Structure 1
Amino acid sequence: MRSVVLPLILGAIAVALIHFAYPAAAAAGCPSCYGFTEVEDGLYVERGMTPDRREAAKATVAAARARVRAFYGDLRSGPRILLCGTDACYRPLGGGSRGIALLDRALILSPRGADVVIAAHELAHAELHRRIGLVATLSRSVPQWFDEGLAVVVSDDPRYLATGPDRCRAEPGGDMPASRAAWIETADSAGLYARAACKVSRWLDAHGGSAGLLRLVAGGSFRDLAPITGS
């Protein structure tokens, strides 16, 4: 009996720790436990969302997937997408952000993130992480400024990209944070999204667009980006 009970106790403790330490991961692992219901394969919305909002969520996710697919040529990631309809749903999972990506496994979108641009931004993170692999993702082999700037470009976010041949709204300036922690500390105040989007956009222009990125993913090193971070 002890051999059966002990694993159950340890499992319950592990679930509790994940719930309190990282509720977003817990919700992604068990959406129904956190008040989500599946409306189509891989898409979960907050339980109680009205039928019209559910249909709007489906259309938003479909358009966001199409935007990421248009850049990459195909989609290799298939993260679970959890969409909150209220702030009360999202606050304990994502704080004050519009959306978050958990590796290439899940996205959680806030009510303010239920649009094509934000959904495509988070899907772009998931797609890059799937293509570089789990080890490279966890070891942060891609500088955070490049990851974020690429997501802005792929999602075609008009807040940070202009129209025209040179899409820059802000010059890159000096070095930008390579680590996630440093990015989170300074992103809002330093206008880093626009600066990173500019640098990535110009990098893509100089390296053949998405084909250049795919070459880098397939056989290059993102450390090679280091010499241009201060340009």
Structure 2
Amino acid sequence: MSARPGRWRRWRLVVAGVVVLTVTATVALVLAYPSVAATTCPRCYGLTPVRDGLYAEPDLPDADRQRLIEVYRDASQRVDDFYQGRESDPTVLACLTSRCYRRIGGGGERGIAIRDRALMLSPRGISAVIAAHELSHVELHARLGSRRDEVPQWFDEGLAVLVSDDRRYLAPPTAPDRCRDAASGPLPETLDAWLRAAGADEQVYARAACRVHRWVAAHGGRAAVLDLVDRLRRGERFDALVGD
């Protein structure tokens, strides 16, 4: 028993429509969010594997490839040490030229984390400190899961400074007080507010790092962060656990 010709024509039109919508949506995603598309398919943007999960421009000199591997290894170790292991396994896109970074959707930042799945490093961000900062964001988001939006941006950023041991914003661990800027007052809670504040005064990182460092030190060290994550995942509120 065969289907009617009209029915087949209708099905072909439906299938064609679905294909067109899918292609249109994909093109729109690539144009609107090239960083998401690039981290999903690094090869589509001309990047090649340097090692598992780490991509960069093709035909790099051996010295540059080794430098990337060492930066990634050092950054990963900093995050491993702080979190006592990692639950995240992000894709890392590293660009040694501005042209490459613009192509994958980067801007003027040194690096950027894409939620809990990837990060991108600009030519100015090829360092263990910057890579560890972004890996810290990814790790925290991965551990929090659906509760990641419960953590205000100032805590996320201050924690990333602490994990990466960024000496621009924190004194060395041997200092009597690691805080470089202990000014009080509210800190930005949303990403948009943080970006505006950091654009106007980069020392907002130092103030956030100081607040996080002092909270961590007063609550038992690194284990306090792991406990905080567990309690947040169980449904407790950040404000009740940390304050503002």
Report the TM-score range of the alignment, normalised by the length of the smaller protein: over 0.9
The residue identity in structure 1 corresponding to 2:37 is A
Question: Where does residue 141 of structure 1 map in the other structure?
Answer: 150
CA contact (8 A) 2:228 2:241 kept: no
Aligned equivalent of 1:104, options 116, 131, 137: 116
Moved over 4 A (4+): none
User: C-alpha separation between the residues in 2 aligned to 1:4 and 1:36?
Assistant: 33
Question: Where does residue 8 of structure 2 map in the other structure?
Answer: none
Query: Over residues 147-202 of structure 1, what are the superposed CA-to-partner deviations in whole Å (9 max), with x where a residue is unaligned?
Result: 00000000000100012132100014100010111010111423210000000000
The residue identity in structure 2 corresponding to 1:78 is D
Question: Where does residue 94 of structure 1 map in the other structure?
Answer: 106
Q: Does 4-13 or 203-212 show the bigger shift?
A: 4-13
CA contact (8 A) 1:125 1:147 kept: yes
Unpaired runs of 5+ in structure 1? Answer: none
Kindly indicate whether residue 186 of structure 2 is the aligned counterpart of residue 170 of structure 1: no
Q: Does 8-17 or 208-217 show the bigger shift?
A: 8-17
Unpaired runs of 5+ in structure 2? Answer: 1-11
Question: Where does residue 160 of structure 2 map in the other structure?
Answer: 151
User: C-alpha separation between the residues in 1 aligned to 2:39 and 2:206?
Assistant: 30
Q: Does 147-156 or 28-37 show the bigger shift?
A: 28-37
User: C-alpha separation between the residues in 2 aligned to 1:83 and 1:173?
Assistant: 36
User: C-alpha separation between the residues in 1 aligned to 2:225 and 2:242?
Assistant: 15
CA contact (8 A) 1:101 1:107 kept: yes
CA contact (8 A) 2:101 2:122 kept: yes
Aligned-pair distance for 1:46?
1.5
Q: How does 1:74-223 map to 2 (within 5 A)?
A: 74-92=85-103, 93-133=105-145, 135-137=146-148, 140-163=149-172, 164-190=175-201, 191-220=203-232, 221-223=237-239
User: C-alpha separation between the residues in 1 aligned to 2:209 and 2:131?
Assistant: 17
CA contact (8 A) 2:57 2:100 kept: yes
Q: Assess, with a 3 A threshold, how the Cα gap between structure 1 residues 217 and 205 changes in structure 2: closer, same or farther.
A: same
User: C-alpha separation between the residues in 1 aligned to 2:230 and 2:242?
Assistant: 18
The residue identity in structure 1 corresponding to 2:239 is R
Name the % identity. Answer: 49
Question: Where does residue 30 of structure 1 map in the other structure?
Answer: 41
Highest CA radius of gyration, 1 or 2?
A: 2
Aligned-pair distance for 1:3?
4.4
User: C-alpha separation between the residues in 2 aligned to 1:74 and 1:194?
Assistant: 26
User: What TM-score results when the alignment is normalised by the length of structure 2?
Assistant: 0.88
User: C-alpha separation between the residues in 1 aligned to 2:24 and 2:59?
Assistant: 30
Q: Assess, with a 3 A threshold, how the Cα gap between structure 1 residues 22 and 70 changes in structure 2: closer, same or farther.
A: same
Aligned-pair distance for 1:214?
0.8
CA RMSD, Structure 1 to Structure 2 (Å): 1.4
**Partner-residue secondary structure (3-state), 1:10:** helix
**Partner-residue secondary structure (3-state), 1:38:** strand
User: C-alpha separation between the residues in 2 aligned to 1:12 and 1:65?
Assistant: 37
Q: Assess, with a 3 A threshold, how the Cα gap between structure 1 residues 144 and 225 changes in structure 2: closer, same or farther.
A: farther
Aligned-pair distance for 1:7?
2.9
Q: How many equivalent pairs are there?
A: 225
The residue identity in structure 1 corresponding to 2:171 is A
User: C-alpha separation between the residues in 2 aligned to 1:175 and 1:205?
Assistant: 20
User: C-alpha separation between the residues in 2 aligned to 1:126 and 1:76?
Assistant: 9
